[in-house]
A = this chain, B = another copy of it.
């Protein structure tokens, strides 16, 4: 069996902060045929995550940094095109950490999930039914522990995780306040994702609008940004509030950490709980979360949005674009099936 050439995006230098196009190179390789126990996946969709900033950083983090010269780590969804494993026949749709490349030669054990939902688009396996949805589900319900009637505030509320958080919170009987950048994203929060209120953090009257939206205070703050946006929310915490630290998208560099107003007194006085989590620690929750998410998507209760780039050439600049805030919805790269 001869496979097509395999274009790969490799990391060539480490950014100080947000990875830019210049930190990557596109190279061509061949795909060796699978040995016993291996499969070759043709990637149809590559994922682009804010968390990739951390994956390429040499600063202590929650995963080993991507090695210089190696293929950029990434979730991907695709179909098996060659197999030497009886459980994984050619044609099976799968997801896994297959990297930013057109083809991935992997041990079957590296496959994370078989995609069973033939009725739903394959791309959902990387967003609303994948890492983003499961992150929202676990982080909100297990870490944030919202109760019906409480107010849940979410930053990057129009994004892949934030939009799920808001919708899941409403499904649990909470009032939801979304924070997003710009009028288009603010409108998305209200019109597509059903937030009860939405506030544009770029607007001159952000603080006043947030105060109005949080007139009953904030019981759960699902924090995807850190920084001044979070400082503004912290001023509205209710007694017993939970702050779910999921991401730090608004802070370009943590080396050294930027200065901000100290939070300890507020956390003490409000008896608040601020907790970080990394979804990879909780993959035992995947099955239940995935089942809930798929049911909600099928029932029209959980809406999602995708921001699709085309071709592997779009990958190197794709993370930087996320941090520029140019995407509306979950950012994905569609690879040309005719490649």
Please pick, from B60, B226, B270, B278, the residue contacting A276 in the complex, using a CB distance under 8 A: B270
Question: Which B-chain residue is minimally distant from A262 (CB atoms)?
Answer: B260
Known: A259-B259, A259-B260, A260-B259. A265 touches B278 (CB 8 A): no
Please pick, from B247, B259, B264, the residue contacting A245 in the complex, using a CB distance under 8 A: B264
Measured in the bound complex, the distance between the Cα atoms of B259 and A245 in whole Å is 20
Can you list, as one digit per residue, whether each of A213-232 has a CB less than 8 Å from chain B (1) or not (0)? 00000000001001100100
Measured in the bound complex, the distance between the Cα atoms of B8 and A317 in whole Å is 70
We find that the number of chain A residues with CB closer than 8 angstroms to chain B is 38
Interface-side segment among A86-94, A195-203, A250-258, A286-294:
A250-258
* Copies of this chain in the oligomer: 2
A308 at interface, CB cutoff 8 A: no
Measured in the bound complex, the distance between the Cα atoms of B111 and A149 in whole Å is 37
Question: Which B-chain residue is minimally distant from A261 (CB atoms)?
Answer: B257
Residues of B within 8 A of A251 (CB): 262, 264-265
Measured in the bound complex, the distance between the Cα atoms of B269 and A245 in whole Å is 10
Question: Which B-chain residue is minimally distant from A226 (CB atoms)?
Answer: B264
Known: A271-B277, A272-B275, A274-B275. A226 touches B265 (CB 8 A): yes
Question: Which B-chain residue is minimally distant from A260 (CB atoms)?
Answer: B262
Residues of A within 8 A of B (CB): 54, 60-62, 223, 226-227, 230, 245-248, 251, 254, 256-278, 281
The 6 closest A-B pairs by CB, nearest first: A226-B264, A268-B276, A257-B261, A267-B276, A273-B275, A259-B259
